[in-house]
Amino acid sequence: MSAFLTYLVSGVAIGCTFALVASGFVMIHRVTRVVNFAQGTFAVVGGMTTASLLGRGLPHGVAEVLAIVVCGVVGLLVGAIAIGKPGTPPLASLIITLGLAIGAYGVEVVVFGDQPVSFAMARGATTLGGAHIQWQYFLVMGATLVTFTALALFFERTYVGKALTACSSNPYAARLAGISVLRMGLLAFALGGMLGGLAGVLITPLQPVSFDSDAVLAVNGFAAAIFGGLMRPGTALLGGLVLGVSESMVGGYVNASYETEVALALMLAIMVWRSARTPVSVEEAA
């Protein structure tokens, strides 16, 4: 029972970080229709920048926030390269982000080195139902909850959030209203960078991150995002949790080397089942 609880809590926490990566995918895809394959890179940059800043003696809080800001700037740069030229088809932008993600390996190795890094954030642990659970797990869950609530409020309540939705819903009409779809796309990339960075900051204390950790984060985040059709952050959160918990259970009870494969297969099965139940929604041609 206590083992189950441990796997469950750690699965939920890991799932939360997948969901944060997924929310970046969703943010960028909603507004620009680009699947940003540099999304995992943002998380790596976030984690490594935090470790590096802490290593230079910056206090907790400052280092994490600075790292997330750096990720926002990185996101903006990726966006500027991927969608900066008007009329770039989303598929071309996707390939650009993939290229940037691979190119980032070189930069990361030069700046941060090629060894996995980690740092402690919330220290210590508590005992819950006989299970020994690190405080970091609760920190991850709390931060994810706050972030998704903030995202929902941002899209539902703010003028800029609604303008982002407008660009997603009808870019032509948004342009007629004077909204710069390009600027909104760049904003989405910057916010996507910050969301990815936050995921990296939160996951690095749980799983050391190296320059090539982006692939596993991007694959899991993408799978979670696909769960919500790359459009709905809330469903992406659910997808992230399903992935995280199933990976944790497989890793705990079966064999840790299969955890990602089994979780992704489960995800695929759920999506096939769902699409068989509901008619495929036809996306409006742009």
- Which residue lies nearer to other proteins by CB, 177 or 268? 177
Burial per residue of 41-65, b for 16 or more beta-carbon CB atoms within 10 angstroms, e otherwise: bbbbbbbbbbbbbbeeebeeeebbe
Q: Could you tell me if 7 and 249 are in contact, meaning their C-beta atoms sit under 8 angstroms apart?
A: yes
List residues bridging with 133 in a β-sheet: 126
43 sits near other proteins (criterion: CB under 8 A): no
- Which residue lies nearer to other proteins by CB, 71 or 174? 174
- Which residue lies nearer to other proteins by CB, 126 or 169? 169
Q: Which one of the spans 34-42, 136-144, 165-173, 236-244 is the region binding other proteins (CB under 8 A)?
A: 165-173
CB of 168 to other proteins, least distance (A): 9
- Which residue lies nearer to other proteins by CB, 71 or 83? 83
Whole-number Å distance between alpha carbons of 271 and 239: 10
Chain Cα centroid distance, residue 164: 19
Quick note: the x/- pattern for other proteins over 170-199, rule CB under 8 A, is x-xxxxxxxx--------------------
Q: What single-letter DSSP state applies at residue 255?
A: -
CB of 89 to other proteins, least distance (A): 16
CB of 166 to other proteins, least distance (A): 5
CB of 232 to other proteins, least distance (A): 11
Q: Kind of pairing, strands 131-134 and 125-128?
A: antiparallel
Q: Which of residues 120-159 bind other proteins (CB under 8 A)?
A: 159
Q: Which of residues 11-30 bind other proteins (CB under 8 A)?
A: none
Cβ-proximal residues to 7 (8 Å cutoff; 6+ apart), any chain:
245, 248, 249, 251, 252, 253
CB of 87 to other proteins, least distance (A): 11
Q: Which one of the spans 30-38, 109-117, 168-176, 187-195 is the region binding other proteins (CB under 8 A)?
A: 168-176
286 sits near other proteins (criterion: CB under 8 A): no
Cβ-proximal residues to 27 (8 Å cutoff; 6+ apart), any chain:
151, 188, 191, 192, 195, 233
CB of 27 to other proteins, least distance (A): 16
User: In this chain, which of 14, 63, 104, 163 binds other proteins, going by CB under 8 A?
Assistant: 163
Whole-number Å distance between alpha carbons of 78 and 260: 27
CB of 173 to other proteins, least distance (A): 4
Stretch (H or E) spanning 123: none
Whole-number Å distance between alpha carbons of 154 and 284: 25
Residues of this chain that interact with other proteins (CB under 8 A) are 159, 162-163, 165-166, 169-170, 172-179
